[in-house]
Amino acid sequence: MTLMLLDSASLWYRAYYGMPDTLTAPDGMQVHAIRGYLDMASRLIGMYKPNRIVACIEGDWRPSWRVDLFPNYKANRLDEEGDGEEEPETLTPQIPILLDLLDLFGFPLVGVDDYEADDVMATFAVKEKGPIRIVTGDRDLFQLVDDKEDIKVVYLAKGVSQHDLVDTAWVANKYLIPGDRYALYAIFRGDPSDGLPGVKGIGEKSAAIIANQAATVEEALKLAQSDPSPFAPALNKKIIEGSDYLKIAPTLVHCARDVAIPTMDLAMPSRPTDLSPIYKFQEQYGLGASVDKMISALGW
């Protein structure tokens, strides 16, 4: 009973930049993000044959409780007015159309106010039984891999054809740390894409050294203050000097796992008695084979 969690924003951004923008609707509107999303999702459904699926969306890409802790959280992504996420102008109108189409197909769509899609996916990963496959191009979600519960990340950095299936062994091999300590590693290293600086002076190598010696931030601080310490004096100094940031960093980096998700049926969409609304939508927006591929992937 595999549950597939789709990190929808990650997929439509990947589709937007990966598909030719010459794919247009009859009225000339670009639809390449819509078609790319459908193509990727249908291929992955065919590969992993999930019994349950959820398309996860952002309730808020900058949750207030994270911004209150750290005002620069994702501030690097704000538009020129500082109001919302800077987004390509030809992507913006495609998103509601894609969401309408997913709704027509019967995909469960979940976004929760003041939480990111990562938090929604993390909560599903805790609440639902495995196997669970999290589809994303975002390495933040490596923190969710769990071999015991059979939670893996379908990581799309290299595209669908060459994607990585990330488990704890993959994380350990990639970052040279215990495979269940990615979040700790990310806390110390930082993440420029989220506007998170990490601990000043600590990069990937030092973050890996810390993650190999400590399982938590508290343990790392304790080791840095101990005598003898397993860390070099210079690294101890950086850890101790970063203690103020380390008080808030776990809340910023860790996915929330207690989001109030509405009760819903997560089963794969069943074939409706009438497919004509989907075919009308397909024709209206010039979605061609992308809709046909999804229908085929769902076994309709």
| Shared domain check, 154 and 9 | yes
For residue 8, the model assigns a pLDDT of 97
List the chain pLDDT tens, one digit each, 300 residues: 999 999 999 999 999 999 999 999 999 999 999 999 999 999 999 999 999 999 999 999 999 999 999 999 999 888 765 566 678 899 999 999 999 999 999 999 999 999 999 999 999 999 999 899 999 999 999 999 999 999 999 999 999 999 999 999 999 999 999 999 999 999 999 999 899 999 999 999 999 999 999 999 999 999 999 999 999 999 999 999 999 999 999 999 999 999 999 999 999 999 999 999 999 999 999 999 999 999 999 999
Q: What pTM value is reported for the model?
A: 0.94
Q: What CATH number does residue 280 fall under?
A: 3.40.50.1010
Residues 144, 136 contacting (CB under 8 angstroms): no
On whether both 27 and 60 belong to a single domain, the answer is yes
Q: What is residue 259's predicted lDDT score, i.e. its pLDDT?
A: 97
Long-range contact pairs involving 203-209 (C-beta distance under 8 Å, separation at least 24) = 204/175, 206/235, 206/238, 208/175, 208/176, 208/177, 209/235
Q: How many domains does the chain have?
A: 2
CB-based contacts of 104, cutoff 8 Å, min separation 6: 277, 278, 281
Question: Can you give the residue range of the structural domain that contains 111?
Answer: 3-175+260-290
Same domain, residue pair 89 and 149: yes
Q: Does residue 65 form part of some domain?
A: yes
* Non-local CB neighbours of 194 within 8 Å, separated by 6+ positions: 73, 74, 140, 252
| 248 falls within a domain | yes
Assess if residue 297 is contained within a domain. Answer: no
> Are 61 and 198 within one domain?
no
* CATH number of the domain enclosing 209: 1.10.150
pLDDT of residue 287: 97
**How many angstroms separate the CA atoms of 48 and 220, rounded?**
39
Residue 298 lies inside a defined structural domain of this protein: no
